[in-house]
Amino acid sequence: MSPTAGFTGRHAVVTGGAGFVGSHLCTALVAAGATVTCVDDLSTGTVENVAHLAGRSGFTFLNADVTEPFEVDRPVDLVLHFASPASPADYLRLPLHTLETGSLGTRNALALARRDGSRFVLASTSEVYGDPQQHPQNERYWGNVNPVGPRSVYDEAKRFAEALTVAEANAHGTDAGIVRLFNTYGPRMRGYDGRAVPTFIRQALAGEPLTVTGDGQQTRSLAYVDDTVRGILAMAASDLRGPVNLGNQAEITMLELARTIITLTGSSSEIRFVDRPTDDPAVRCPDLTLARGKLQWEPRVDAGEGLARTIAWFRARHDA
């Protein structure tokens, strides 16, 4: 069955819909025949990300900050709560807004779902596991997070959002689910958002040194955005509460990632080692047993293919 089957004619609200993952969700839902209301305050998202949907029947853009109550003037079938600064550059620049989006923003999005008896899906993150002492990480692991470190504004915002979502489901019977996204990448990322993939691609295309932090042996598990969107929609179509990990179990070190991007871009860039950020996780890899068993989902796009697609998108913008 198509991952978008069953969304035709349904009204979906996507908070953070002009952001990286949110805009891909809006695109997939419109293509599936859903009516989509994209809610975004453009603090980190851009109208460019959804410009291709402007004027399309069934697509509406609502410029609103979800930390304040917002109104959607027609019944809603699905609320996908993806509003939040998600990159280090953004959540370190907007620490209070990040915490408020995870708390007040989640409360307001849940209120909208409760109003119409909608399915609600929270975008959480692998960052709730912190610098994990369990590897790979399954959904039963409670995590190892520094609650007062520089990354805590994002980590704890998402941990609180998960707690609030579960409390809402228990107290009011809201049909709520949680997905934990692992290192999603792809077109529409910003070159200066601080995450490794867009940073390395931007540097390689410009012929600049690729800045690898520490010794580069820390690992991440990269999930191409199309795979992540399929998983989110599978979760939305289910009645599963979760949380459910969505990612790719193929680990790669940051040094290997940098070398791969240099090769794929044909760049003459060198690698420069820089200081590693405080509380930067040493490893990151999802246990996908639950997603495979309950959602019949697993990633399809390997790193070589996904990085090539992403580089092509960045190159087109760079050349332009």
The Cα 19–Cα 86 span in angstroms is 9
- Helical ranges in the chain per DSSP H: 20-31, 88-93, 95-100, 106-116, 152-172, 196-205, 225-237, 254-265, 289-295, 303-319
Which amino acid type is present at position 78? L
To 10 degrees, what angle do helices 303-319 and 254-265 make?
A: 60
Please state, in angstroms and rounded to a whole number, the distance separating the CA atoms of residues 246 and 235. 10
Identified catalytic residue from 91, 129, 141, 154: 154
192 is a catalytic site residue: no
Whether 137 contacts 126, CB under 8 Å: yes
Spatial separation of the C-alpha atoms in residues 305 and 109, rounded to whole Å: 35
**Bridge pairing between strands 35-40 and 78-81:** unpaired
Q: Rounded to whole angstroms, how far apart are CA atoms 29 and 275? A: 41
CA distance 296 to 318: 38
Contact 195, 88 (CB under 8 A): yes
* C-alpha separations of 285 from 3, 148, 223, 280 in Å: 24, 24, 11, 14
Q: Which residues are catalytic?
A: 154
